[in-house]
Structure 1
Amino acid sequence: MTGDGLPTILAVDDEPSLTTLYEAWLADDFRVRTASSAEEALELVAGESFDAAMLDRHMPGGTGDEVLSELRARDHDFPVVMVTGVEPDTDIVEMPFDDYLVKPVGKREVQRTVRSLVVRGSYNDHLREYFALARKRAVLEASCDREALENSASYRELTAAVDDAETRADAARAELLEDGFEGTTPDLG
């Protein structure tokens, strides 16, 4: 997220009218950075942090597929939606994207998809944080005296942090379920 608190989205398409349209559609809830080529997209990603990306598959000078492969090779794990005129085929099975939209796309579809990507990304972060903290607590509980733990301010802070992380993960999960992703997220309870 940027300093203004808005998630940052990368929109890549060789048609500037489309990236301008995506930017207008998403401007109320997201900071949108646009690129019109694979090279420009990779330059932006090298210098900025993104919460999600929209990639066109076919562009002169480099494809969205190549950009996606390079993003993953550089360990950028933010969610990506392919927004393209290319009908999906079995070639997409091995591609590490999170969603796929076939053009033409509408405003609501783009807004819903990008919002969902950002929520899924935050859910992953919250879930990762929860499991890391819960594991620390489990290690301490397995190796330390219960009375010593109960008297430890650090342990009490850790327990509170676990509870907070679980609450944040559950809230993100609930938001995902509202968007129709029932059955795709594990129950933390």
Structure 2
Amino acid sequence: MPRNPHVLVVEDEPDLADLYGAWLDDDYSVETVYDGADGLEAIDESVDVVLLDRRMPGLSGDTVLDTIRERSLDCRVAMVTAVEPDFDIIEMGFDDYLVKPVSSGDLTSVVDQLLLRSTYDDQLQEYFSLAAKKALLDAQKTEAERSASQEYDQLTDELAVVRTKVDDTMEALFDQDVYHRLCQDISRNAT
């Protein structure tokens, strides 16, 4: 049975952290901590998404984020903060940025999007790995050798299945209103 995605809330206001946890608790395995140091201790390979306050006493959210990226932890990070974004965000390694106050729907939506993006990343990595193997065999083996190989047939079938999953996930990403608006913003700013 697959585990529920693990969401870590790092927020120095305990009531707010607990509220975020309550909003997400039905769909995710949620852990809340109330400062940056505890957040760094809690982050391990089981964490899928971190909701991180930017301005906290002690270790700031910026420092926690930098440490997460330096450790190459495989999790998505959304800053959930009262700090209005400025040009300093360009250098930051977050995946999304929400300005407080946020609603239950906003928080759930951003977690869903980040998890979907993670799925897409994993699928893309698998797809490119399989495609590289097929390309290598296509270049090194004759058509007759490939046609006679059961392993090559399995590789081709697996590549087709993964390609379909990638396409379906990409479609789901673009079906989400946030990504539709993002694409509109990108195309509007590119002209």
Aligned to 1:91: 88
Aligned match for 2:61, one of 64, 69, 76: 64
The two structures have a TM-score, normalised by structure 1, of 0.90
**TM-score normalised over the length of structure 2:** 0.89
Aligned CA distance change for structure 1 residues 129 and 28 (closer, same or farther; 3 Å): same
Matched, 1:137 2:163: no
Any idea what the Cα deviations from partners look like across 1:52-81, whole Å, max 9, x if unmatched?
111000111101111110000001142211
The 1-side partners of 2:124 and 2:98 are apart by 27
CA shift digits 1:7-59 (9 cap, x unpaired): 1111110111122111111122211121111111111114x422211100011
Tell me, in whole angstroms, the C-alpha distance in 2 between the residues paired with 1:67 and 1:57: 9
Separation of aligned partners in 1, 2:2 and 2:164? 24
Deviations 1:159-183 (A, max 9, x none): 1211121122112111111113244
Q: In the alignment, which of 113, 123, 126 is matched to residue 123 of structure 2?
A: 126
Q: Which runs of 4+ in 1 moved over 4 A?
A: none
1:100 to 80, 97, 104: 97
Match of 1:187 in 2: none
1:41 — aligned with what?
39
* 1:164 pairs with 2:171: no
Structure 2 equivalent of residue 10 of structure 1 = 8
1:52 match:
49
CA-CA distance at 1:4 after TM superposition: 4.6
1:73-84 to structure 2, matched below 5 A, reads 73-84=70-81
Q: What is the one-letter code of the residue matched to 1:95?
A: M
- Which has a greater percent of helix? 2
Q: What count of residue pairs does the alignment treat as equivalent?
A: 181
The amino acid across from 2:28 in the alignment is F
Q: Residue 29 of structure 2 is aligned with which of 19, 28, 31?
A: 31
Q: Deviations over 1:106-155 (max 9, x none)?
A: 11111111110110111111111111111111111111111111111211
- Identical columns (%): 43
5+ residue gaps in structure 1? 185-189
Name the CA distance, whole Å, in 2 between partners of 1:31 and 1:53: 12
Letter in 2 for 1:169: V
Residue matched to 2:189: none
Q: Please state whether the residue corresponding to 2:43 is helix, strand or coil.
A: helix
